Every structure is written in structure tokens, then in C-alpha cells.
Amino acid sequence: MPALCRRALLRQLGAGAVAGLGALACGPRELTEDPHYVFAASSLREAFELISRDFQANAPAEDPRLALSFGGSSTLRVQIEHGAPAIAFASADARQSERLHAGGHCETPQLFARNRLVLAVGAESKALTSFDDLPRAERIVLADAAVPAGRYAQLCLARRGASFEAAVREKVVSFESNVRRVRAKIESGDADAGIVYVTDLLATPALRVIEIDPQLQPEIGYYAAATTRSTQPALGRRFVEHLLAPTSQDTMASLGFGRVA
């Protein structure tokens, strides 16, 4: 795909997906200077920033530069289906990667990390002390069921029981497009509690973690694959392979993710 200037890229990906990537200049040198994107689930931001830095520090000098684009896994999957310039895709579940693979948009997805759900509440909140207290919250926020975090939260609530799930749903004030927006709503005080990944809260002192019973936990796996229609398929494959390298697995583990290698 030819290089896109900033305006075209924002139109194709959406402003939120490329936030934080820096200015992308349009001009005669853009064909050589535009980065190649790794699309990744929002919950991977801190881990992928470190892993990408390590990958590029040890890459051949002639390798193109990488950029990271974060968002809801389902949103990123749709963008790739419509031709967005990604060399690799990392999803917070198998479903989104498998859909891309079935459509011929990516290679076979590889499991590279695991996670688990927790309940996030304001650090000063005293009303909630256990997951069973969640229906007492006045304002609950969840990720939308279209993204993995929302689907996992639904499975968790359903396992707790129909009456519990119904009581929680009565208090939901919004369904967010990715799990980091759930965290932000609680941090800002717009919500009292929400279900997020444990990795979303490790460096967030403004929020308190309430554990969720292992019996209620869905199996959460992160999958990555190189895309098939990029101009740098080998680069995408190498990045996916790098996710399973010991250094990358150590980085993921240090941020709370479960190892797979």
C-alpha cells in the first residue's frame, strides 16, 4: 500500500487509533519515512512500547521503523480488513485474529500472553470490598461486548448468576470502546467501579484492585499474527516471533501478563 499522509491516515484509522504516534509529514520523502504499523489491543500499550523498543534496537539497520497503534481489538480488525497499513495485529482474544485469518488478512495467529479480570474501584471508595458488592455501586462502567474485555466481563457476570448479572446491568452507565476507557472513567470519577484486566491497574495508584474468584474467570489469551497484505510481511513475522522471545516474555510478566513461553 502506498504511504499515507497524516490526514488520509487519520481518516482511515480514526483519530483515536493513532493518538500518540507523533506527526506524520506528507511530502516527497514520505514513501521511505512513513513507519510500518503494529496494531495492538489497548491493554498492551505499556508492554508493546517496551517490546517494540527492544525489537528495533536489535534489528538490522536497514529495517523500516515501526509505529504502534492501539485500540479495541474488534475496531483494529475491521480497519485491517479495510486496508489499513498494519504489518502485524495483536488481539486480546483469539476471535478477532481468527476472523482476520479466515478472511485471508493475516497468517496463523500465535498465543503470546495471558491475562485475568479484576474489579477496579476508586482508591478512596470504601463501599465495595469484594466482587459480590458490585451491585451496590451507583455507577458501573464496562467495555462494550464487541471488544474482548467486554465479552470477558459478560462471561464473568453470567458465571456469577443471572440475578447478580441483572443487578449489575441496572447500574451500568456506559459501555466503552476499549478497556482503557473503562479505567479512565473510574479514574475521572465518572464511574464508581468497572471490570478491567489486572494489567490495567498495576501502575494506577488512583484505583484499587478487588480480586475476582478464579471460578468466574474466563480464559484470556492474547494472539498475534503478521498481516498478509502489507509491504513488509517478513518484518511482521519477525515482530510476532519476537513476542515469544525470552526478553519479551520477561517484559510481559513484569507487567502482570501470564507467560506462554
- Sorting pLDDT into bands at 50, 70 and 90, what band is 14? very low
Structural domain includes residue 84: yes
Reference 67, options 9, 149, 7, 113; nearest CA is 9
In the predicted structure, residue 12 carries a pLDDT above the cut 80:
no
Provide DSSP, 240-258. HHHHTSHHHHHHHHHTTPB
* Same-domain check for residues 238 and 148: no
Q: What are phi and psi of 260, to 5 degrees?
A: -125, -5
| pLDDT over threshold 70, residue 1 | no
Q: Do 197 and 127 share a structural domain?
A: yes
Residue 200 lies in a domain: yes
Please give the single-letter amino acid code of residue 75: T
Query: Same domain, yes or no, for 12 and 63?
Result: yes
| 121 lies in the same domain as 110 | no
Shared domain check, 121 and 108? no
Q: Are residues 208 and 227 in the same domain?
A: no
Residues 138 and 44 in one domain: no
Task: Answer whether residue 260 is part of any domain.
Answer: no
Instruction: Provide the domain count of the chain.
Output: 2
What percent of the residues of the chain are helix, what percent strand, and what percent coil, each to the nearest 5?
A: 45, 25, 35
User: How far, in whole angstroms, is CA 72 from its chain's centroid?
Assistant: 6
Q: How many residues does the chain have?
A: 261
Q: State pLDDT tens for residues 117-160.
A: 999 999 888 889 999 999 999 999 999 999 999 999 999 999 99
**87-114, pLDDT tens digit by residue?**
999 999 999 999 999 999 999 999 999 9
Say what the pLDDT of residue 17 is: 43
What are 169's three cell numbers? 446491568
Residue 74 CA, distance from chain mean position: 10
123 vs 226 pLDDT, higher one: 226
**104 within some domain:** yes
Task: Give domain status of residue 1, yes or no.
Answer: no
More confident residue, 10 or 93: 93
Task: List the CATH number of the domain containing 202.
Answer: 3.40.190.10
User: Are 148 and 73 within 8 A, CB to CB?
Assistant: yes
Distance of CA 51 to the CA centre of its chain: 15
Strand order in the sheet with 172-176: 172-176, 140-143, 193-197, 117-122, 207-211
Residues 134 and 187 in one domain: yes
- What pLDDT is stored for residue 61 in this prediction? 81
Based on the domain organization, do 229 and 108 belong to the same domain? yes
Kindly state whether residues 126 and 207 are assigned to the same domain.
Answer: yes
Q: How far apart, in whole angstroms, are the C-alpha atoms of residue 252 and residue 194? A: 23
Q: What is the pLDDT of residue 34?
A: 66
Residues 181-207: tens digit of each pLDDT: 999 999 999 999 999 999 999 878 889
What per-residue confidence (pLDDT) applies to 126? 83
In which residue are the cell numbers 511482521 written? 236
Structural domain including 63 reads 6-114+221-254
What pLDDT is recorded for position 203?
Answer: 74
In a domain, 259, yes or no: no
Residue 140 sits in the same domain as residue 84: no
Q: What is residue 178's predicted lDDT score, i.e. its pLDDT? A: 95
Asked whether residue 226 is domain-assigned, the answer is yes
Same domain, 162 and 97: no
Classify residue 140: in a domain, yes or no: yes
Q: Over the stretch 32-82, which tens digit does the pLDDT of each residue have?
A: 346 799 999 999 999 999 999 999 998 888 788 899 999 999 999 999 999
Helix (H, G, I), strand (E, B) or coil at 119: strand
CB 70 within 8 A of CB 42: yes
**DSSP assignment letter at 42:** G
* Number of C-beta neighbours around residue 5 at 10 A: 13
